[in-house]
Amino acid sequence: MTNPHLTPLLEAVAALESAWCDAECGTDLDRTQLLAVNAAMGTLQRRFDGLRAEVAAGIEHESRPELGPDGLAKQQGFRNSATLIAATTGGTTGDASKLTKLGKATAPRSNLLGEKLPPKYPAVQDALQRGTIAAAAGSLIVGMLDRARLHASIEQVGEAEALLVEGAAGLSCDDVRKLVTRAEAWLNPDGVEPREDEARASRSLTMFERDGSLFVNFRTDVASGAPIKNAIQAWVTATFQARNTNANAAAGHSETCEGTATGDAPEGWTMPGDDRRTVAQLQADALTAICEHMTGCDNNELPLTGATVIVRVSLDDLTTGTGVATIDGTDQPISISTCRQMAASGGVIPAVLGSDGEILDWGREKRLFTRAQRLALVERDGGCVMCGLPPQMTKAHHIRWWQRDTGPTDLSNGVLLCTSCHHRIHDNGWNIRVDGTKRTSKVWIIPPATVDPTQTPRLGGRARYDIAA
């Protein structure tokens, strides 16, 4: 008789077996089979992680210090439960400790009278059992909620747990970390400024030379680093655009995809057509070029269009001094005091949001989106609506093309996309839909039938990562 507790895992194994069919190895699968197998393996991994967390919590309970030499781990010759689990799985003790903490936070409890109590985080437990989130995502959520309990009410923690579990489904661990970061600022806005002060006090830059190379180690707070990050990313983006332009010119044709600019690099700024530098190399070259420009060694204009720092804050938070603000292109929120300081600096645009905002539409009068419209698109989309690249690495594009579809230059017909995702939209049959015309509107990415037969819309842009969306 099958243990009901293992039923979800066995169902995932059956789905994997069905998707794999009769192929001998993964390289024998066609594209449809590869996608089906990958999805089945993802579900299996997530459900298996949920069971591993439960077992890890059980091992930790049987290895608790008060049992002394009779503890399970010590009986097996290990110092503690984490080393036992790590040796069994081949992982690290740090991963084993996170798994144990997750299992304890999602396991049923008992009070002093032995009465059964629900888990500390029931929504996380349910998501792990159903396989909608992975153990790594669950650990991020549980860790943040444990910290938040010191400052927020039980009701607020429960609301945040439900929102995070719902929002984390289908996201990578990196994207879940963005959700958790914003949720923590929402639950404890007063904790943002102390972290800023600590980061600012720990700022440092060290340099040393070795083996013909200069090594630079740099650390600073998010607000101070925003102009640096934006300038480097803008330089790299302009380089990629120039690379594409040179490639098209070498091929004997011009870029015809609507909305793609071919002249963003300043006059006199060129690059070789066979440029093969990696992103890391481009970022290093960007820093060099910016420093050369600042020291007067290079008087040519730098391609830093879009490098302006934009700080976003609600009017209520700005006037009352409560809450937090955000910087476009960064995940970490900043305090209101830092926001006020940045707003007084040159090259920083404070975007104070007091209402749903005005509709910024031009119809067919203008082809290119204005600066005001782009700022509104950044507020709505937060960056590339598909892959999440920061705003300075994107361009405003017409959803319905200006020439082919006679699309208007309106916010409801505009969207921020990086170059790669822009081509994916037009070349691979993806569609975009915008609900509403305000800054609070949501953008939906609709896959082609070849990717998803049901063509279920996927939430894109800022709303995908913002817990307050």
DSSP codes, 151-164: TS-HHHHHHHHHHH
pLDDT tens digits, one per residue of 126-145: 999 889 999 999 999 999 99
Region 255-275: mean pLDDT is 48
Between CA 257 and CA 467 the distance in angstroms is 34
At 94 the pLDDT is 92
Arithmetic mean of pLDDT over the chain: 81
Per the structure block, which two tokens stand in for 450? 């070849």
At 378 the pLDDT is 84
At 93 the pLDDT is 93
Tell me the pLDDT band of 272, cut-offs 50, 70 and 90. Answer: low
Cα–Cα separations (whole angstroms), residue 241 to 256, 273, 328: 14, 12, 21
High-pLDDT (> 90) share of the chain, %: 26
- Is 60 exceeded by the pLDDT of residue 426? yes
* Sequence-distant (≥ 6) Cβ neighbours of residue 136 within 8 angstroms: 49, 98, 173, 176
Tell me the pLDDT band of 360, cut-offs 50, 70 and 90. Answer: low
> For the CA atoms of the chain, what is the radius of gyration?
26
At 56 the pLDDT is 94
Region 9-35: mean pLDDT is 82
| ∠ Cα 367 371 372 (to 5°) | 105
**What does DSSP assign to residue 438?**
S
Region 327-331: mean pLDDT is 76
At 357 the pLDDT is 44
- Is 50 exceeded by the pLDDT of residue 391? yes
Per the structure block, which two tokens stand in for 282? 């481009």
* Sequence-distant (≥ 6) Cβ neighbours of residue 200 within 8 angstroms: 220, 221, 224
- Is 60 exceeded by the pLDDT of residue 255? no
At 247 the pLDDT is 64
At 365 the pLDDT is 57
At 428 the pLDDT is 80
413-439 burial, b at 16+ Cβ within 10 Å, e below that, comes to: bbbbbbbebbeebbeeebebebeebbb
At 125 the pLDDT is 93
At 135 the pLDDT is 93
Nearest to 320 by CA among 190, 173, 427, 204: 190
Tell me the pLDDT band of 259, cut-offs 50, 70 and 90. Answer: very low
Tell me the pLDDT band of 390, cut-offs 50, 70 and 90. Answer: confident
Region 100-111: mean pLDDT is 89
At 300 the pLDDT is 52
Ordered by start, the domain boundaries in the chain are: 4-192, 221-294, 371-464
Alpha helices in 295-386 (DSSP H): 315-320, 336-343, 371-381
Half-sphere exposure of 118 (CA within 13 A, CB side): 7
Per the model's pLDDT, the better-predicted residue between 303 and 417 turns out to be: 417
Alpha helices in 169-306 (DSSP H): 173-187, 192-201, 222-251, 279-294
Region 424-437: mean pLDDT is 80
pLDDT tens digits, one per residue of 183-241: 898 888 888 888 888 998 999 999 998 888 889 999 999 888 888 988 898 888 888 87
Region 438-463: mean pLDDT is 83
Between CA 236 and CA 302 the distance in angstroms is 11
At 260 the pLDDT is 40
